[in-house]
């Protein structure tokens, strides 16, 4: 099956309904980091889906906005949280001025983008110098939660593929055209599971390198986007924040933009 592009999401009612059913608790950590980072300034959720995170930010008193490629998603978001949502442009750019936001974020969108470098360019561009970016995406090369590939669903084979790719991405020297790896989606597989429409093999090493290129410094990292309660949760979160997290289930980073940063892509 060819790579999934934005047309897959444009008027996808079933996908929109699935987003509507995600529990707000799944956004809690992401929303908390954005709310703390914006400091009363404007904040953007890029790839906002049907608006749950923006609604949560507004409920905390934030001047929050959302943007997505899907008219269906945006329509539902407006019904949920008011007229504070926009469609991304056809060329993948965002309809905002450079430096327009004190903080911006994206939760589980980067792995679905047809042109991930352009998406990240834009996300970084609209953050003001000294501002904060919160980015969370599955680790598509995880050894603990191996996502199926097109034509491959044996988890141990996928782990071996992921291990080799992780090693290469960790040791590689950055070069134009190699910022992110993209693959055909696995939507044609017999049993649909989350992330089968993902086409970018997001992982910690590629995200770290891409943010550095754009003048951002990672201030915190975790391999989970979920809030784990209690002492056991704090211990687990501690483990997820170590280098062991680089091979685990997710990439959750908070990054600060240099006061002199200018966004620029290594891949288009």
pLDDT tens readout for residues 185-208: 887 766 566 678 889 999 999 999
Q: Which percentage of the chain shows pLDDT scores above 90?
A: 68
Calculate Rg over the CA atoms of the chain.
17
Return d(Cα 136, Cα 174) in angstroms, integer. Answer: 22
SS3 call for 103: strand
pLDDT of residue 261: 66
Classify strands 42-46 and 101-107 as parallel, antiparallel or unpaired: parallel
**Contact residues for 138 (Cβ-Cβ < 8 A; gap 6+):** 108, 111, 145, 147, 195, 198, 202, 249, 250, 251
Helix (H) or strand (E) holding 67: strand 63-68
Q: Is 50 exceeded by the pLDDT of residue 1?
A: no
Angle at CA of residue 74, ends 123 and 114, nearest 5°: 45
Return d(Cα 16, Cα 257) in angstroms, integer. Answer: 32
Helix (H) or strand (E) holding 44: strand 42-46
Q: Is 90 exceeded by the pLDDT of residue 67?
A: yes
More confident residue, 148 or 34: 34
Classify strands 63-68 and 250-257 as parallel, antiparallel or unpaired: unpaired
SS3 call for 105: strand
Q: What is the pTM of this model?
A: 0.92
| CB-CB contact of 150 with 188 (8 Å) | yes
pLDDT averaged over every residue in the chain: 89
Nearest to 77 by CA among 58, 52, 53, 51: 51
Which domains does the chain possess? 7-256 (3.40.50.150)
């Amino acid at each position: 099956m060819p790579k999934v592009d934005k047309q897959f999401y444009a008027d996808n009612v079933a996908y929109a309904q699935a987003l509507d059913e995600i529990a707000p608790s799944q956004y809690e950590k992401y929303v908390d980091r954005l709310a703390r980072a914006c400091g009363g300034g404007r904040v953007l959720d890029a790839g906002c889906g049907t608006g749950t995170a923006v609604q949560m930010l507004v409920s905390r008193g934030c001047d929050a906005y959302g943007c997505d490629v899907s008219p269906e998603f945006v329509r539902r978001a407006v019904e949920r949280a008011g007229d504070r949502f926009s469609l991304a442009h056809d060329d993948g750019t965002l309809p905002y001025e450079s430096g327009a936001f004190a903080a911006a974020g994206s939760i589980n969108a980067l792995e679905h983008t047809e042109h991930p470098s352009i998406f990240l360019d834009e996300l970084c561009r609209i953050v003001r110098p000294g501002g904060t970016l919160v980015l969370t995406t599955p680790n598509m090369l995880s050894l603990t939660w191996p996502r199926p590939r097109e034509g491959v669903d044996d988890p141990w084979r996928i782990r071996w593929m992921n291990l080799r790719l992780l090693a290469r991405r960790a040791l590689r020297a950055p070069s134009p055209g190699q910022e992110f790896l993209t693959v055909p989606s696995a939507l044609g597989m017999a049993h649909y599971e989350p992330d089968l429409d993902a086409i970018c093999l997001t992982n910690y090493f590629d995200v770290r390198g891409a943010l550095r290129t754009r003048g951002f410094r990672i201030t915190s990292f975790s391999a989970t986007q979920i809030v784990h309660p209690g002492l056991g949760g704090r211990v687990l979160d501690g483990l997820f924040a170590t280098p062991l997290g680089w091979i685990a289930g997710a990439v959750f980073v908070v990054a600060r933009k240099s006061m002199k940063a200018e966004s620029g892509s290594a891949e288009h």
